[in-house]
Amino acid sequence: MQRSFRFVPFGSSAPHGSLAVDAGVAGAAATYSHWQGAQATPPQLLADTSTGILVRAAGDPRRWLDAFPVVCNNHIDADGLLAAIFALRPELVFDHGAVAIAAAEAGDFCEWPGEAGFRLMLRLHQELRNLGDRRPEGTWEESAYQQIIAEAPRWFAEAAESEPERDAEVARVAETIRRLSARHGFSVHDDGRLLTIAWTAHHGHPSDQFSPIAVGRPDDLPVWAIHGAYPGLAKSRMQLLAMATPSGTHYRLEGPRHAWARTVDRPAWSAPALIQVAERLQSLEQHAVQWICGASANRLGMTCVLAVANDAGEPAGSSISVAEVIAEISAGHSA
C-alpha cells in the first residue's frame, strides 16, 4: 500500500486515519512510539526505540502498516526519521534494520552502539543540519522528512563511507572511550549507585540537551564515550559529571539517558527527589550560583536532575569539592 508522510507541529492534530511514529500526536488512529506518555503501542511491537518498533512492524506490513494511509510525527531526529522510513518503506528493514536500531540508540540514548550505527546517526544529523541550519523551527521539518525519506537508501550507503567530519567524530569518541577506560585525564568512581566522572576542562562540555543539527562540537567528554567505556553502569547509574574550571567546578547529575523513554530491555529508572540535596548543597556554596533540580535542571539536559547554574540558568562553577557533592547526593539518595 502507498503511504504518505505528514509533519504535524506540536499542538496540531494528525490527519484522519494516520499512524504516529516516535510521537504521541492527537487524533492519530494508532501510535508506534517509545515515548512515555504517548498512546499505547501494541504489545507485540514493543521495543526500546521507535525504530525498533517499526522494524518489528515492517516484518508484517499487511498487519501493522497497511491500514494507515498517512504516517506522521511532531518532531525530527534520527529515531523519528528511521521509524518513518521503515513505516513508509518496510522493504528496507531486511538490509538495514539492525544498523538503524543502533543509530536510534546513539541518537536517543547517547549510547555507543558500535561504529556503523554511530556513523548512520551522524550522517542523518549532518543532513538535518544542512537542511535546517539557520531556519526557524517549524518551517523546515516537513520538507526535511520528505527529502530524507525519498532518498533513504542514500543515507545507509553514505554512512558506511569515509568522510572527514564523520571520521573525526568517530575517532574523537573512540579516543575518549580509551582514555576513560584507562582513566587517563579522568577520575572515575563508582559507589554502586552513582558513577562520578571528574576532569579538568580543556574544550568544555556542552549541554547534553539533544540537538539533531549539532555535529562535531568541541567537547572534553562526548557523551557516547561514557556508555562506550562503561556500558552497564551507564544504563543503570546516575552519573555525576564534574568539570573543573578556573571559576569553580561545573556539576551536572544525569540519570540513565534512556530514562525518559518507555523501554523493554533497558531498566526502568525514576528520578529521586533532590530538593533537599540541592538545599544542603546551596547552604555549603560560597560562590554566587544556584543549585537547581527538577524542571530547572531538565533545561540543561533531558535526563539532568541536579546542576549548578548562574542567574541566567547557564552552567556555572561551584566552590564545593567533588567529595562533598558525592557525599550529599549519596546521603540524599539513601534517605
117 and 174 in a single domain? The answer is no
Which among 120, 141, 161 is the end of a domain?
161
pLDDT band at 212 (very low <50, low <70, confident <90, very high): low
Which is it for strands 187-190 and 238-245: parallel, antiparallel or unpaired?
Answer: unpaired
Q: Which residue has the cell 538545599?
A: 279
Amino acid at 201: A
CB within 8 Å of 170: residues ≥ 6 apart:
115, 118, 119, 122
Q: Which residues constitute the domain of residue 76?
A: 4-161
CB within 8 Å of 183: residues ≥ 6 apart:
none
Which among 161, 193, 220 is the end of a domain?
161
pLDDT band at 137 (very low <50, low <70, confident <90, very high): low
Whole-number Å distance between alpha carbons of 306 and 298: 8
C-alpha pair distances (Å), 250 with each of 74, 243, 277, 284, 289? 34, 5, 16, 15, 11
C-alpha pair distances (Å), 283 with each of 196, 226, 297, 308, 313? 22, 31, 18, 13, 19
199 and 76 in a single domain? The answer is no
Mean pLDDT of 21-33: 96
3-state secondary structure of 199: strand
Least confident of 131-140, 248-257, 310-319: 131-140
50 and 179 in a single domain? The answer is no
Helices (H), the chain: 50-58, 61-64, 78-88, 93-109, 115-132, 141-150, 152-159, 164-182, 224-229, 231-236, 275-284, 295-298, 322-334
Cβ-contact 316, 287 below 8 angstroms: yes
301 and 327 in a single domain? The answer is yes
217 and 137 in a single domain? The answer is no
C-alpha pair distances (Å), 220 with each of 109, 258, 278, 295? 19, 22, 26, 26
Whether the predicted pLDDT of 214 surpasses 80: no
120 and 64 in a single domain? The answer is yes
Whether the predicted pLDDT of 251 surpasses 90: yes
Torsion of CA 91, 94, 99, 105, to 10 degrees: 70
* pLDDT, greater one: 137 or 322: 322
End-to-end CA distance of the chain: 56
200 and 138 in a single domain? The answer is no
pLDDT, tens digit (0-9, with 9 covering 90-100), for 255-292: 999 999 999 999 999 889 999 999 999 999 999 999 99
Choose among 22, 20, 25, 21: nearest CA to 10: 25
* pLDDT, greater one: 90 or 333: 90
Mean pLDDT of 198-222: 81
CATH number at residue 187: 3.10.310
174 and 313 in a single domain? The answer is yes
pLDDT band at 247 (very low <50, low <70, confident <90, very high): very high
Percent of the chain with pLDDT over 70: 95
Cell numbers for 290: 544556584
101 and 186 in a single domain? The answer is no
Which among 123, 141, 161 is the end of a domain?
161
CB within 8 Å of 235: residues ≥ 6 apart:
227, 256, 258, 266, 267
How many independent structural domains does the chain possess?
Answer: 2
Backbone angles phi, psi at 332, to 5 degrees: -70, -35
Cell numbers for 255: 540519570
245 and 273 in a single domain? The answer is yes
Mean pLDDT of 130-146: 79
223 and 145 in a single domain? The answer is no
Amino acid at 90: P
pLDDT, tens digit (0-9, with 9 covering 90-100), for 73-88: 999 999 999 999 999 9
190 and 289 in a single domain? The answer is yes
